[in-house]
Structure 1
């Protein structure tokens, strides 16, 4: 229900603003204002989107956190999108989002509401090249709400088994005529 409310209120606000602004400056200037806003929004999305990508790339090259430039770039892209959408209210919101101080304020508000509960990565060495990626150490994630989903943690080792009995034509140890073919290894695999 709450998600539908903006879709009901926003068109009503836009129509009311069209009527008010159109009554003050006229119909044609109001339409020109909306079209100019759409063109400016497309230009903002093109120019600022490329700039945001360069800021993220620069942050990664300097080994800084790219989260801040990415968030600012996303808000600039949203601002351009709001300016492209026909309407005076959405264009005003888009123009507000182009102000860096407003973007910083929004990001601070969003960051204050984000709560990180935990994360982990486990790598236990000792199994040779078959490292134990992704396995949780004992007791990890076994707090409230933890469910055992039928996963069995286990270990394995590769052992070379002696080759099975030589059967006629099934292994590389003989060609069925009694002659030995050149030995290609002691893997025990059959050749068909």
Structure 2
């Protein structure tokens, strides 16, 4: 798993650098810098709004005696999306925006639920309870 993650980080970084150079040649350096700053600011605003909305829904679910499972998965997706948006690069920004917009976050949630249920089934995630 570590090797795949390491390779993915290296490949994405190389793609991001190539995209920066290409866009810098097509437009100019200021366009690229403005794009990086604009996506960071927009992402921070969107992450804050989505995060607070998710937190509010989680509190509502807890207040009514229900486990906030959907909200926890939303929170994980929002956190990952926000981190990707703060990472300079247009590919990571695109993925980050997809995770922050509720309609495009749904496929990621389905995928994450599938992975987590498989990990629980295999026993690679263990739940310890202190009663």
TM over 0.5: yes
Equivalent residue, structure 2, for 1:18 = 20
The structure carrying a bigger helix percent of its residues is 2
TM-score (norm 2): 0.78
Equivalent residue, structure 2, for 1:54 = 56
- Rounded to whole Å, the distance in 2 between the matches of 1:24 and 1:41 is 25
Per the alignment, in what secondary structure is the counterpart of residue 86 of structure 1? coil
Structure 1 residues 43 and 101: CA distance shift in structure 2, 3 A: closer
Matches within 5 A, 1:39-78: 39-78=41-80
**Is the contact made by 1:48 and 1:77 (CA closer than 8 Å) also made in structure 2?**
no
What's the RMSD between the two structures over aligned residues? Answer: 2.4
Instruction: Answer with 51-60 or 99-108: which moved more.
Output: 99-108
- Rounded to whole Å, the distance in 2 between the matches of 1:43 and 1:101 is 17
- Rounded to whole Å, the distance in 1 between the matches of 2:5 and 2:12 is 12
Equivalent residue, structure 2, for 1:33 = 35
Gaps (5+ residues) in structure 2?
none
Gaps (5+ residues) in structure 1?
121-132, 135-192
User: Whose relative contact order is higher, 1 or 2, with alpha carbons under 8 Å and at least 6 apart?
Assistant: 2
Q: How many residues align?
A: 122
Spell out, residue by residue over 1:22-73, the C-alpha distance to the aligned partner (whole angstroms, 9 max, x if none): 2232210111010111112222333322222111001112233301012112
